[in-house]
Structure 1
Amino acid sequence: MIYRSTRSANLEVSGASAIIQGLAPDGGLFVPKVFPEAFSKNELKKLLELSYQDLAGKILGRFLPDYTPEQLATIVKGAYGAQWDDAKIAPVTENKAGSYFLELFHGPTLAFKDIALQCLPRLMKTALFNQADNRDIVILTATSGDTGTAAMRGFQGLDKTRVIVFYPYQGVAPIQLKQMLSESKDNTVAIAIEGNFDQAQTKVKQIFNDQDMRKLLADHDFTFSSANSMNVGRLLPQVVYYFYAYGQLVARGDIAMGDPVNYSVPTGNFGDILAGYYAKKLGLPVGKLICASNKNNVLTDFFKTGHYDKNRDFYVTNSPSMDILVSSNLERLLFDISGDPDLVKGLMDQLKETGEYKLPDDLREKLSDFAADYATPEEIEGEIKRVYDESGYVIDPHTAVASLAAHRFTGNDAKTVVLSTASPYKFPETVYHAVSGQAVTEKGIPALKQLAELTGDLPASIKEFLGASAQEIVIPPSEMEAEVKRQLGL
């Protein structure tokens, strides 16, 4: 299968090369030149009976035929093994307060990013082998919280790789920070910038696309790649759990085969919900994809008006992983509905130059697969409380955004799966206050212990880093490129 850039008609590479590169050289994102054929009804029925690992192999094989079935089997076996605390990998709860919750936080860092970032390093290592590429890969990424830890854990100790993560100083949750700093060792490092996530992500893209920087790396046998959802190798593994969730509902008799199901997705960078869109294109009976945002509701406005406008106040909220105003993966959707790389490039240039763009009316009509809503910080706490009071089930703030959007959605009568993207133990301050009505006595680890006393025992993966300590590195965004050079000894 050939992959192409969203911004030019003549930039084409293999799937393995797209995964190694991360971003296209023209600044665009890699997408399939021809989207894979949808599964037939008979194929779909058989798929939904598979284990998570076998299902992942089949779906990845649809997108990555340049990997052998044996290679993909090895990759998914390693990615979804003993490091998960639930054998199902992504279990779906029974109905809780009106929705089904797809728990995506049973991996080593307790967030949905593990689903892809346990897989991506193995995809990347195999791609290097297949292409006889002996360069060292530099994973350069920006994070609003969970990607950083998951990338560092996924690539930890992997030979011929270096991971450099930039995150907003005082812009991630205390537990997320503790996790990242505890993973800063060997071939991985996390660095804070004096700014927000969008500034970090914008600068990372600039460094990626700097031709002088690329030449300097090449002269030292390095090459850049990305571990965030701009990398198609991060995006594709996320398609799997939409199918797996549907299969669990069918197996339990909650739905009949062929019934549409809505998916409500906490949305920041748009990768997670885009994976659901890809699942629908592959033949999964998806009703609506509910794009759930926090107070930084640029996507809600976009889906309601067709106008993307990042020229607005930026809010630091109690759902920090969604504190984003530039949703990079939306570019892939724009390309999919238009098929026009010149139009996409024009819109992205407008966004860079003016901070906004407007979709033509004919393209707005092609967004009907999506609904959109958002939640304020106060509404987030209220939804955590509502779900807990009605079902005894505890959710994190990001999940609460999607849960509230699902609860308020009236567009159809289909049952709704809420993507539960992080463990409530990663955000104990907000969750404890929402459930108990009282503030924690102290943030960070003490808050974590207070929440555990209220709701149950701590997950083993959190216990691992409770005693870890490390010093933050804090730099202005203007020094990010120099810091990359320093970390690589250039």
Structure 2
Amino acid sequence: MNFISTRGEEGAISSSEAIIKGIANDGGLYVPNEFPEVYDRLKKKMGLSYIELAYEVIKEFFGDIGEENLKGAIDRAYNGKFSVREENDFLELYHGPTSAFKDAALLFLPQIMKKAKKLNNIKEEIVILTATSGDTGKAALQGFSNVDGFKVVVYYPENGVSAIQEKQMVTQEGNNVKVIGIRGNFDNAQSGVKKIFGDVEFREELKNRGFLLSSANSINIGRLVPQIVYYFYGYFDLVNKQKIKEGDEINIVVPTGNFGNILAAYYGKKMGLPIGKLICSSNENNVLTDFLNTGLYDRRRELILTESPSMDILVSSNLERLIFEANNRDAKKTKKLMDELNEKGVYSISSESKAFLSDFYGNYANTDEVYEAIKNVYNNKKYLMDTHTAVGYVVFNKYRKETGDNRQALIASTASPYKFPRSICNALELDVSNKDDFEILKLLNEYTNIEIPKNLVGLNNKKILHNNVCDKEKMKDILLEFLKESKNE
């Protein structure tokens, strides 16, 4: 399997090269040159463990890594560290070391990157540059902490993540990690990172100093591919539990910000997984809802800080990969649209491309609807959703009401409710006045009797190790400062 850029200005490269580079030289994102049809083969192996299934899916894309290398990377990533559970039609993806779905990919990425680095005989240190809206940052820091040959720099919006998410990041240990708050929002952080990647002179300067830049965001194909696995796993679990028959189509519901998680489900569909509708669920930052309904992508609006901060995004990077498919893989058309977005903040797709998007349904949920859903589901089913999962649940119910489509669905549950305890307690109408988020954590535990994830217990007592904050214009300067210090220049 080779990988090509969505913007078409460089030739096909191997998976190990694409994983190391993260983003193409032309600013595009790497996509596989084809989608392997694997469902018919895998449906005969429905009893596979998550680790076994991960190998069967991932090997189709990352064949040049080698069978033993790949099996070893998958085993080290997941064995005893991560699991997926399906409960009440929620596909719980947060049973990992940082209590968010990002663990599924960011436990694997460091392992596969180490193999790719060796395979390509890369001597430079690889600097993982990541913008986060809350969860990616901690998962990347955790995954790459103290991994030889790698450094991790994470930028997050200073006032745009939950107190728990921030504490998870700023207490991260490791001699190769750096966490930086920026005065701005996630889109500022993400565009700042993309700008650094696009600065050819700066990258050349870093290379001369012994550093190569790469990414742990879902723009990196090494992070996107492992996310396909849990949709196959969830589907086979429904068959094994006799909720559906093999071959029945299901709908997939995904709370969506940067479009990576729902794109992984779409890739699964391209690989033969029987998926009907992909239900793209947004919060009040409903740029994707508008796009899926009109074909017009318009980021020229104010970013709203919501109770589901990981989705407070106006520029959904991974949508570029879907646009590439919607344009019949025409890289020139895709580049033109991305240039328009960059220069004007808006683009419009053709009627043919819009017809291509019929697999998707887009809608959004506001805070009142999210609170109501959390309260009702808990009171009626004793099932506790986080705010992001609740966005998906609300939109799913809107879809059913609008269409009458009662097919079995899987709702991606993307984070533990304990990462957003203040919002959850507000939804459950518990009094949290004059309490900090860690006191609220205990209150939520006492009220629900649901176990607090081990990685969040005692988090409030951990020492803050990162207290850098900078203006969004200074992101490059602070990166250079960190790298100079690390080389003792």
Aligned equivalents of 1:140 and 1:9: distance in 2?
A: 23
Q: Deviations over 1:144-177 (max 9, x none)?
A: 0000000000001100100000000111000000
Aligned equivalents of 1:256 and 1:46: distance in 2?
A: 13
Aligned equivalents of 1:452 and 1:409: distance in 2?
A: 32
Q: Is the 8 A contact 1:48 1:247 kept in 2?
A: yes
2:316 aligned with 1:327, yes or no?
A: yes
Which residue is equivalent to 1:24? 24
In structure 2, what residue type is equivalent to 1:363? Answer: S
Aligned equivalents of 2:373 and 2:387: distance in 1?
A: 9
Which residue is equivalent to 2:418? 425
Q: Deviations over 1:25-53 (max 9, x none)?
A: 110000112x1321253x13124321100
1:196-215 to 2 correspondences below 5 Å: 196-215=185-204
In structure 2, what residue type is equivalent to 1:478? Answer: E
Q: CA deviation at 1:13?
A: 1.2
Q: Is the 8 A contact 1:310 1:355 kept in 2?
A: yes
Which residue is equivalent to 1:318? 307
Identity over aligned residues, as a percent?
Answer: 45
Q: CA deviation at 1:464?
A: 4.8
Aligned equivalents of 2:338 and 2:414: distance in 1?
A: 28
1:295-314 to 2 correspondences below 5 Å: 295-314=284-303
1:50-449 to 2 correspondences below 5 Å: 50-84=48-82, 89-93=83-87, 95=88, 100-338=89-327, 339-410=329-400, 411=403, 412-449=405-442
Tell me, what secondary structure is at the counterpart of 2:60?
helix
In structure 1, what residue type is equivalent to 2:304? Answer: Y
Aligned equivalents of 1:47 and 1:395: distance in 2?
A: 31
Aligned equivalents of 2:49 and 2:226: distance in 1?
A: 14
Q: Deviations over 1:200-243 (max 9, x none)?
A: 10010000110111111110121000001000001000000000
Which residue is equivalent to 2:455? 461
Aligned equivalents of 2:381 and 2:11: distance in 1?
A: 51
Q: CA deviation at 1:437?
A: 4.5
Q: Is the 8 A contact 1:8 1:342 kept in 2?
A: yes
Q: Deviations over 1:389-431 (max 9, x none)?
A: 2200001000000011112212322111110000000000010
Q: Is the 8 A contact 2:35 2:267 kept in 1?
A: no
Over 3 Å counting, the alpha-carbon distance change for 1:182 and 1:55 in structure 2 is same
Aligned equivalents of 2:428 and 2:476: distance in 1?
A: 43
Over 3 Å counting, the alpha-carbon distance change for 1:150 and 1:333 in structure 2 is same
In structure 1, the gaps of 5 or more residues are: none
Over 3 Å counting, the alpha-carbon distance change for 1:62 and 1:440 in structure 2 is farther
What is the TM-score when the length of structure 2 is the normalising length?
0.96
Q: Deviations over 1:53-86 (max 9, x none)?
A: 01000100111111212111111111112233xx
Aligned equivalents of 2:45 and 2:136: distance in 1?
A: 29
In structure 2, what residue type is equivalent to 1:39? Answer: V
Q: CA deviation at 1:316?
A: 0.3
Tell me, what secondary structure is at the counterpart of 1:259?
coil
Aligned equivalents of 2:376 and 2:399: distance in 1?
A: 16
Using the TM superposition, name which of 162-171 and 432-441 deviates more.
Answer: 432-441
Q: CA deviation at 1:336?
A: 1.3
Q: Is the 8 A contact 1:432 1:440 kept in 2?
A: no
In structure 1, what residue type is equivalent to 2:413? Answer: S
In structure 1, what residue type is equivalent to 2:52? Answer: D
In structure 2, what residue type is equivalent to 1:487? Answer: F
Q: Is the 8 A contact 2:216 2:223 kept in 1?
A: yes
Aligned equivalents of 1:337 and 1:443: distance in 2?
A: 46
Q: CA deviation at 1:9?
A: 4.9
Aligned equivalents of 1:37 and 1:152: distance in 2?
A: 32
Q: Is the 8 A contact 1:142 1:165 kept in 2?
A: yes
Tell me, what secondary structure is at the counterpart of 1:414?
coil
Q: Is the 8 A contact 1:111 1:421 kept in 2?
A: yes
Q: CA deviation at 1:452?
A: 1.2
Aligned equivalents of 1:40 and 1:92: distance in 2?
A: 20
Aligned equivalents of 2:478 and 2:6: distance in 1?
A: 30
Aligned equivalents of 1:48 and 1:155: distance in 2?
A: 32
Over 3 Å counting, the alpha-carbon distance change for 1:311 and 1:40 in structure 2 is closer
In structure 2, what residue type is equivalent to 1:29? Answer: L
Aligned equivalents of 2:114 and 2:281: distance in 1?
A: 34
Which residue is equivalent to 2:38? 39
Using the TM superposition, name which of 49-58 and 182-191 deviates more.
Answer: 182-191
Calculate the aligned-residue CA RMSD, in Å: 1.2
From 469, 473, 480, the counterpart of 1:474: 469
Aligned equivalents of 1:154 and 1:107: distance in 2?
A: 11
Q: CA deviation at 1:354?
A: 0.7
Aligned equivalents of 2:410 and 2:372: distance in 1?
A: 20
Aligned equivalents of 1:156 and 1:326: distance in 2?
A: 28
2:17 aligned with 1:14, yes or no?
A: no
> For this pair of structures, how many residues does the alignment match?
479
Aligned equivalents of 1:210 and 1:47: distance in 2?
A: 47
Q: Is the 8 A contact 1:48 1:246 kept in 2?
A: no
Aligned equivalents of 1:218 and 1:468: distance in 2?
A: 35
